[in-house]
Chain A
Amino acid sequence: QVQLQESGPGLVKPSQTLSLTCTVSGGSISSGSYYWSWIRQPAGKGLEWIGRIYTSGSTNYNPSLKSRVTISVDTSKNQFSLKLSSVTAADTAVYYCARASIDCSGGSCYSEDYWGQGTLVTVSS
């Protein structure tokens, strides 16, 4: 059973860079059958898709964040990471990492089916 776990600082100062890592266990991040996503949720609000990375390194980002976001993968550590630069209070949220299959023959695909528990990041001085 695959599991995902977010880690990183819970407090980031305004204008600095938010950095989070998602560690994947119970499966290899190198499998070409999946992509790996970041999604966030401000307190009491809805969900916002940040972006995704394929094992090949190919990425897609939400245009609303694209200028500030970098998602990368480290297959040797079975991890992928999120960097969000120039943060403001509006970036305060619970950040989730998730996995989605790109193989549509076995059930859901292009739909995040495994999620981490989420980590709260607060932007404040």
Chain B
Amino acid sequence: DIQMTQSPSSLSASVGDRVTITCQASQDISNYLNWYQQKPGKAPKLLIYDASNLETGVPSRFSGSGSGTDFTFTISSLQPEDIATYYCQQYDNLPPTFGQGTKLEIK
């Protein structure tokens, strides 16, 4: 299985801050990477697909970049409703695998 390593595992930031999460794959996955947002008690929500494409209806403050093994997820200006856990997921190889998650909190 391809291992996905996210960092940091938790993050505290203020409203309006720029927030960055990284995800590293254990092997080249091209751009077959998703970013999901999961709020407590809810199902994950797809935010970014193909590493950098914004899913329909997702605010433009969310963005993603990277290819190969190194990827970045950014919130340009943190909003209170962005408090959640964020997961990267590779879908280049079966089985699709997720990072361990980054829990984002408001300072």
Contact = CB atoms under 8 A, between A and B. Distances in A.
A46 B43 contact: no
A112 interface: yes
Interface in B32-78: 32, 34, 36, 42-46, 49-50, 53, 55-56
Main secondary structure, interface of B, reads: loop
Given A46-B87, A46-B100, A107-B56, A115 B94 contact: no
Interface residues of A, number: 23
Interface centre among A96, A111, A115 (most CB of B within 10 A): A111
A4 to B, nearest CB: 9
Contacts of B46: 108, 111-113
A46 B101 contact: yes
B94 A96 contact: no
Given A96-B43, A108-B46, A110-B91, A49 B55 contact: no
Given A47-B87, A117-B43, A108 B99 contact: no
B97 interface: yes
Interface string A43-55: 0001111010000
A39 to B, nearest CB: 8
A115 B37 CA distance: 12
Interface in A27-82: 46-49, 51, 60-64
Contacts of A108: 34, 46, 49-50, 53, 55
Contact of A62 (B32, B50, B95, B101): B95
B43 A115 contact: yes
Contact of A47 (B42, B56, B98): B98
Interface of A: 46-49, 51, 60-64, 96, 98, 107-113, 115-118
Nearest 9 CB-CB pairs, A to B?
A115-B43, A108-B49, A62-B95, A47-B98, A49-B96, A111-B49, A113-B46, A111-B34, A49-B95
9 contacts: A46-B101, A48-B98, A49-B95, A49-B96, A107-B49, A107-B56, A111-B34, A113-B55, A117-B42
